[in-house]
Amino acid sequence: MNSSPLNYGLADVTLSNISGLNQQQPNLSLSQTISFSDTLSWIHGKHNMRFGGDYRRVHRDLLAGANATGNFTFSGLFTEDAGSDRNTGSSFADFLLGLPQEAPSTPPSLRVICATT
């Protein structure tokens, strides 16, 4: 599904009537602040003058998997008795057969860069 080692792991599995399986996806973030400031004081007789400036660059780089391993929902749809009640299927049996009712996947990674000056 995804070739980046950052996004390896278990998919989020949801089984109706049973607690699901999931694994926390890793993320990598880097925060960096660069600042420069300077002040100039000038005394002329009875007058004091101060001039100064400050420059800051705040940088936040975030690399995280956005549902990188996918998620699968098993509801018992494929193992229910077609001639009987709709709730006769087993979500665990659907899981063992590998027949999810829903299996959406989003793009493997999300990279957000925020920089302010």
Q: What is the pTM of this model?
A: 0.47
Mean pLDDT value of segment 27-36: 83
pLDDT at 17 exceeding the cut of 70: yes
pLDDT at 34 exceeding the cut of 50: yes
Residues 90-108 as b or e (16 or more Cβ within 10 Å = b): bbeebbeeeebbeeeeeeb
> Helix (H, G, I), strand (E, B), or coil: what is residue 43?
strand
Q: Cβ-count burial of 24 within 10 angstroms (0-12 exposed, 13-18 middle, 19+ buried)?
A: exposed
Residues in the chain: 117
Predicted local confidence at residue 55, as pLDDT: 93
Predicted local confidence at residue 87, as pLDDT: 72
Q: Place 8 in a pLDDT band, splitting at 50, 70 and 90.
A: low
Q: Is the dihedral of CA 73, 74, 78, 84 positive or negative?
A: negative
Give the tens place of pLDDT for each residue, 60-94.
877 665 666 777 888 888 888 777 767 788 888 88
Ordered by start, the domain boundaries in the chain are 5-116
**Which residue, chain included where needed, has tokens 């665990």?**
92
Predicted local confidence at residue 40, as pLDDT: 94
The torsion defined by the Cα of 60, 22, 96 and 100, in degrees rounded to 10, comes to -50
> Tokens standing for 101?
């009712």
